[in-house]
Structure formats: structure tokens, C-alpha cells
Amino acid sequence: MKVVIIGGVAGGATAAARLRRLDETAEIVILERTGYVSYANCGLPYYVGGVIRAQDALTLQTPESFRARFNIDVRVGHQALAIHQESHTITVLDLASGTQYVEGYDKLILSPGARAVKPDLPGVDDCRVFTLRTVEDTLRIRSYIESHRPRSAVVVGGGFIGLEGAENLLHAGVATTLLQRSGQVLPPLDWDMAQEVHSYLRGQGLDLRLNAGVQGFQEMDGQFYTLVKDSAPIPSDLVLLAIGVTPESDLAREAGLTLGAKGAIVVNEHMVTSDPDIYAVGDAVELTHFVSGSKALIALAGPANRQGRIAADHICGRESRYAGAQGSSIIKLFHMTAASTGLNEKAAQAAGIPYDKTVTYSASHATYYPGAENMTIKTLFDPSSGRVLGAQIVGFGGVDKRIDVLATAIRARMTAAELTELDLAYAPPYSSAKDPVNMAGYVIENLRNGAISQFHWSDVESIPKDGSVTLLDVRTPQEVAVQGLIRPDAVNIPVDELRDRMGELDPSKPVYVNCYSGLRSYLACRMLGQRGFQCSHLSGGWRFWSYVTTDRTHEAAPTHPCGAEIEE
């Protein structure tokens, strides 16, 4: 059996190694267009910033090491030009020599990846405009930084590559402006969850400009400028274009394979395309989302690796299946971590899936042990079953742990009630006796069984202002004096005085309660509800409302949140 693999990174490299482990006698050829195989593509931004210093850290595997270990014929600098399905052959171009040749296959695996989108804008081909997708791209930027010592950069696009690129440029001492066309960075987050990220990034020295549409690039008076709609041109010594990726499916399209959304290659659960002898894996394929069941494009390394293994298994007669991706993703931004798994509100709405949500604010570990840091968790759930549909977390330490626990719970189709029962490992340096994930479960269960009602930051302005309702703030007067009320018509009664001062409230009026994070307002609602008040509390509290509703464009980030903040 002869298997040819087009694309030798992530999915393609995994498929090759797995094939060899299953079949010592197969002939396996990898055709890789770039000069590198099985390189660490997720590490590339960190090489730009010098966080990763040794170039060979990114390219641990070489064609020679791959051949020695796996007896695989790795041809870097070889580009597949055309697939001939009837004859089971491929036309290949050897980029170094310029010669073409024909390679036969019994089974073909396409792992072409996705390419950086380069929009058709004036000046986009200037040598100071870079993209960041391959090792070559990375070396080019690093070399430019070392030779030209740029003092300023513009990054276009606030996805993973744009943000990691911006962090690394700042790390390398380059003043950086990030231009994002929409009103938020990090599409895996909902807009409200992105607000704390924006504030934090600005506090770290990033010149973040939202709703900034780039119109082109131009040299004027010896200075290179990025042209922005409704804004002054922005001078910089280099530009990193990171507005997204698109499936590299030209070869598949030309071969007549079935394509789906955004030109991605359609595959079945064994990663087989519309041609039974051609498989496709990685960023170029259309996936089924595990939670929504919708078709999705998910350009992440984890799914690519799993798919490569599954394609190899199926070629070797094993019955493994790809069960769908849930888009779990995470990014480090200086000391902050932002992560997501499953459905966010945008995705649930697009898929027509009913959901409700909570916003909780929890410490990474016991607050009496040094170093606790708070995190904001937004959890989406099915209102009828309580099944967890998705989660987003923004915080510092311990975010990665909680997103993976939630990703596992979502995979197991757990309900919020089951989150409360999770028996997680607790010691003061690691967690609290009630872990943040347990707490999210408790809050959802309280909502579902009627122990509490909630309202959201987006409801605050539409609550009647005609005196027909009561807005009640149960923080201390000291907190209110420093932080302010969510609306000037709110009254302040600290939760610890509420039992004695309940007579000050009109029991005929609905009460909307808030505190700092949502814990004291919950307690207050329990008190009020039992005395006959119609009552609801602000999910996420003053804190989340404040992040979402305050224009902090020109404000430094607030003090790093400390553990004591939530000892309500």
C-alpha cells in the first residue's frame, strides 16, 4: 500500500506516524510545500518575540529524523499541483529545481491547512507587511526585527495570531497598535466577556483600536502608514496582517471533491472525502460541532491531530471515528488567560439553540493562601435540561484548569446539577472546597429550581425608571462611594443590614438587586423572596456591568484583581 500525504504539519505528520505504527510495510510519502515538516506552528508567534529563542525548538523534526524514526519519505519544498483521481496520481512540483513529476497513490491524505487571508488592499504587498503562518513567515519577521530594529508595529486583526503577535512584538520592545474591524477581539468570546480583555490589553501598553477598518497601506514622506477608515493614518515600521485564515482547498476544489461552508473540504466521520480513496484532515475540513451539531470550521491543532490519527486508522482498517469538535481554545495574553469551550451566545443563536446563561466570579484558589486570582466565568446551559452548552473564562491563574474541566463535562453531556457533584481535588494552593466549576453549577441549579431569578447588564437600562420598581444595591456604603451605583435611582442597604431595614422597601414593587460580584445580591434575594418580594439579582454584579458599560478606551487597566475582592 502506498499512501501520499499532502501537508506535513499537525494532521499530516500525525497521520504519517500513526500509519507507520500500524503498517511497517506501507510506502508513505509526505509532500510539504514549505521547507519544514511537523513544525510547531502554534509556537511561531513566540519565536517572533524572542520568548522561544532557539530556532530549532520550533523544528524538532526534520525530514531526516522523520525518515530515521518512521521510515517515511518526507519531501519538503514539494508542492502538489493537481490530483488525478481516475489514475490515482498527483502532479508534483519540486520547488527547488522547478521540475514536475507524477506520483502515484493508493490512498491520499490531504492536510493542506489554512492560509492567512491577505485582502486585496492597496499596498498590501509591501515588504513591510507580513503574515504569520509558516516557519518561513516567522523567520522573515524575526530577521526583519533584528535587522531593522522597528520601533513601531501595526497588527491588523484581533484573533489568536493577531493577539499573540501583538504580545510578542511588545515583548520585543516594539510599540504596537492593534486594529480590529469589529467591536471586540477574540471571536471565541462573546462581546461582553471580551471587555475585560480589552481593558487589560490596554493596561499592558497595547494601543488597541476597535471598529477600525483598514483601507490600505502607503508610504508617505518616507514613513509607512496604515490607512484606517474615519481615522488618521497610523505610521509604523512594520505591519502584521492577521485577519484570519481560509481553508487551503484549491487542490481539492480543482479535483472535484465536495466542498462545504467557506470552501472547506467535506468529510465523513472517518475523514473520507467524496472520493473514497482520498482523506482530508485539519484546518481545511468542515467539521460537525459536538454541541450544536452544526457544520463548523475549527482551525485548531488538537482536532487536526486527532483527525490525522483517525484517517490513518481507517486506512488500516480500524474503526475509529471523529466525534466532532467543540472548539475548546485558550490564549495567554501577558499574565491573563482567556479561554472558551462549546457554544458561546453568538454560536447558540446562529444554531437556533435555546440557552440561558450565568456570570460567576471565583477565586483561582483559597483566598487565604497567597496568590489567589479571580476569574470571570460565563456558562451557557439548556434551560430545560440544565445541560451545559458552553463556557468562557477570563482571568489569570487556574483558568486553563477550569476550561478543561468544563470541556470534559460538556463532552460527557453533563448537566449543571452534575457540575455541583464533581469531586475535584482541593488543597488551598490549587482550589477552594467549592471549586469555581462547582459554583457555576450551583448558581445554575438555583436558577433552574427557582431559588433565584436574575437579570443581566444588558437589562439595566430598560428597567423602568418611573418609580414602579426598586433598584437595591447591597454593597457597603464604602464600596458604593468608591465604585458608584449602576443607576442613580438605586438605593443602598448593605446586605448585613437588610433584615432589619426591610421595612424601607415597598413590598408591592419588584426589586432588582446588585452587589459587587453577585454573591451578596443572591443572599439578599433569598431574604426578600421569602418575605414576599418579587426579586431578581444582577448576574456578574456591579463588576461585570462596569466592565461592559464603561468606555475604558483611554483608561489604564484596573489594579490586578486580588483574592480579597470576592470575600463578600
Contact positions with its own copies (CB under 8 A) in 486-545: 495-496, 499, 522-523, 526-527, 530-531
Q: What would the x/- binding string for its own copies be over residues 53 to 82, using CB under 8 A?
A: ----xx-x-------xx-x-----------
Cβ proximity to its own copies, 302 vs 477, nearer residue: 302
Cβ proximity to its own copies, 240 vs 338, nearer residue: 338
- Scan residues 426-445 and list those touching its own copies (CB under 8 A): 426-431, 433-435
Cβ proximity to its own copies, 272 vs 399, nearer residue: 399
For its own copies, which residue of 121, 210, 422, 469 counts as binding (CB under 8 A)? Answer: 422
Cβ proximity to its own copies, 3 vs 304, nearer residue: 304
334 binds its own copies, rule: CB under 8 A: no
Q: What would the x/- binding string for its own copies be over residues 450 to 469, using CB under 8 A?
A: -x------------------
For its own copies, which residue of 2, 27, 35, 42 counts as binding (CB under 8 A)? Answer: 42
Total residues at the site for its own copies (CB under 8 A)?
A: 85
24 binds its own copies, rule: CB under 8 A: yes
In angstroms, give the least distance from the CB of 314 to its own copies.
14
Cβ proximity to its own copies, 301 vs 353, nearer residue: 301
- Distance between CA 326 and CA 341 in Å, rounded? 6
Q: Are 414 and 387 in contact (CB under 8 A)?
A: yes
| Angle (deg, nearest 10), helices 301-315 and 11-22 | 30
Sign of CA dihedral 248, 251, 254, 258: negative
Candidates 20-28, 88-96, 254-262, 468-476; binding stretch for its own copies (CB under 8 A): 20-28
Look at strands 89-94 and 78-84 and give their pairing: antiparallel
Candidates 52-60, 122-130, 211-219, 249-257; binding stretch for its own copies (CB under 8 A): 52-60
In the block, cell 457533584 appears at 421
Category of 352 on φ-ψ map: left (φ > 0), alpha (ψ -120 to 50) or beta = left
Helical segments of 49-134, H only: 63-70
Phi, psi for residue 290 in degrees, rounded to 5? -60, -35
SS3 422: coil
158 binds its own copies, rule: CB under 8 A: no
277 binds its own copies, rule: CB under 8 A: no
- Distance between CA 512 and CA 486 in Å, rounded? 11
For its own copies, which residue of 94, 275, 418, 479 counts as binding (CB under 8 A)? Answer: 418
- Distance between CA 223 and CA 497 in Å, rounded? 63
Is 42 part of the annotated catalytic residue set?
Answer: yes
Cβ proximity to its own copies, 314 vs 401, nearer residue: 401
- Distance between CA 124 and CA 480 in Å, rounded? 51
In the block, cell 446539577 appears at 417
478 binds its own copies, rule: CB under 8 A: no
CA-to-CA separations, 512 to 443, 475, 530, in angstroms, rounded: 17, 13, 15
- Distance between CA 282 and CA 277 in Å, rounded? 17
- Scan residues 337-396 and list those touching its own copies (CB under 8 A): 337, 339-341, 366, 368-370
Residue 279 pairs in a beta bridge with 109, 272
- Distance between CA 523 and CA 436 in Å, rounded? 18
Instruction: Indicate which residues carry an active-site annotation.
Output: 42
